[in-house]
Structure 1
């Protein structure tokens, strides 16, 4: 056992001597969580719009003020006629145009009917739909304000409550996903080059004649990265909580234990990659390209799994990131305990054991 700790300590020294490894291990996750946390969002703010106000009365002016008061829209230009709308869209400076017809206020109060036309650039369908929904909601609130306390007979009053994220902050969605992606990629990438480095540098013979059996050699390679990756997880959690206001409603102890489990899963996957590759570059490319796109597309990080075809839904079950994202959201946002996330935890445990067993088997085969 003493020889194992000496071997693990040697790996620590090797990591700390390599400045590039430390930069990738600690610098890249910090930069990514900050960039992704601010850049990846499904909220739309300060969208440039054009306004064609043909009424120019108090009520139409008030409506335009309502549209721009929430920070979702800002007026890029005020149009003078319908003919200039298409030109404004062609220039690419606006995302939506609002057309208010003549005598807007009079039509609303006397004819009990007033129309507002919304035209959106559907070159990006998701953005166009979101902008239309924002504007429709604001116009609906303005209509209720004008109606005052007047209630029509047989009206249906709908009360909407958003559970777990009342402010609809998109960062609550993306921080767990980004955290999962960073831990998986960094942990797998860093460990995937460990045994591949020994092969490429010709130092594998030293390991062959060492008194340590292959299982302990694999574990000795993993132990330093377990510690460093857990520190990495703590840094990412701290950034998510203090920089983006991400709540932790569940048990902190349970959350940290699940982070350790996912780190072990990621590291064992990286070791598996390293045992089937002979060069560091090959191992790094396999860990980056083989994990980045599948994790991003099939983990539920960006696209809902329920909307995917059935074969892709089955394939997503093979992604460790899918199960960890569910665990993070349940603990951090819903305050769930182990009785809720036991299945996801069991799946990650099974994947970890499978990857470790395959790594040891491949390693022993390579050394025979």
Structure 2
């Protein structure tokens, strides 16, 4: 028995993959879940429109600037800038003071601050508005403590999703997750299946170049994925009552681009692996957690440490999630999402080029 235990220890020690699973995976998972699994929102970017610029409004602005929950991204000069700031995705909330804010307090006994939040993510919108109301409440308590009978009110406005429906956030996230996982898994076994079935020789004997074989492998899955996209959109509109505010054609085009990216990733996995089981495991486990944790679907990326924020940039679902929310929820056009489309295009070209390079034209 001691010899068998010693033998097993030696096998584990020599198998680097087993060592990684035993010691590496717990570290990776506790780091991801520990930093990402939180409902708290920190460093939410906000804009402030303060035409009065008096002592009272500046004091409240300083309270927001000193809070760990907010970063003042912009100081707006006119109400017309509010909508453009939200459309550009630069801010989560806008704080709007009336003209003569302090005068209204001193002579009328009360003044109102308007809070506008981006409710395309209803959970974040609810959280940041609660934080804002708490900060305004602190200023109200300070006034009462100094025996000043002034009352500061706040009026709320939820942009893009006034009813705070959860579908406005989870439908774009589910679309990104389903398309990435299904497309990657389907194509991850396509090339390796030919190796296992012994039919790779026929493909290699054909006059087609590797890049054409790869494209031919992806086309059927692309067509099937477009059926999935249509099904998801029909269910979203008619079952979940989620309207498509922007261009349907643009949404379909960007969905096709993202699907091609996912298919390219699956083909690369299929080219690098030796069995269908390994390819399926890599595509499922390797894609599910990063997509769930780092795409911005479940947890705000800006809450995470800088290394995880940087890592999220290589997750294709992050960029597609932004695109779908911009088109479906905010009704924006290509001018607002061209950067995300360019990133997905670059990822696709890079993955296809790497797959063609790693495609073995000789069987080992």
Assess same fold via TM > 0.5.
yes
- Deviation, 1:155, is 1.8
Alignment RMSD: 2.4
Q: What is the TM-score when the length of structure 1 is the normalising length?
A: 0.58
**Does the 8 A contact of 2:204 with 2:361 survive in 1?**
no
Q: What is the TM-score when the length of structure 2 is the normalising length?
A: 0.59
- Deviation, 1:157, is 2.4
SS at match of 1:160: strand
SS at match of 2:151: coil
Residue matched to 1:177:
173
* Residue 177 (structure 2) pairs with residue 186 (structure 1): no
* Residue 284 (structure 2) pairs with residue 294 (structure 1): no
* Residue 203 (structure 2) pairs with residue 207 (structure 1): yes
Mapping of residues 234-253 of structure 1, within 5 Å = 234-253=230-249
- 1:178–1:366: structure 2 CA closer, same or farther, 3 Å change rule? farther
Cα distance in 2 for partners of 1:366, 1:281 equals: 22
SS at match of 2:154: coil
SS at match of 2:298: coil
Residue matched to 1:343:
339
Aligned pair count? 225
Between structure 1 and structure 2, the one with the greater Rg is: 1
- 1:347–1:278: structure 2 CA closer, same or farther, 3 Å change rule? same
* Residue 222 (structure 2) pairs with residue 222 (structure 1): no
Question: What CA deviation, in whole Å up to 9, does each residue of 1:140-168 have, x standing for no partner?
Answer: xxxxxxxxxxxx95322211000011011
Mapping of residues 101-250 of structure 1, within 5 Å = 154-250=150-246
- Deviation, 1:367, is 5.3
Cα distance in 1 for partners of 2:165, 2:361 equals: 50
Mapping of residues 285-324 of structure 1, within 5 Å = 285-324=281-320
Question: What CA deviation, in whole Å up to 9, does each residue of 1:298-327 have, x standing for no partner?
Answer: 110101000000000000000000000000
- Deviation, 1:364, is 3.9
Cα distance in 2 for partners of 1:161, 1:261 equals: 34
- 1:367–1:354: structure 2 CA closer, same or farther, 3 Å change rule? farther
Gaps of 5+ in 1: 1-41, 43-125, 138-151
Gaps of 5+ in 2: 1-38, 40-122, 135-147
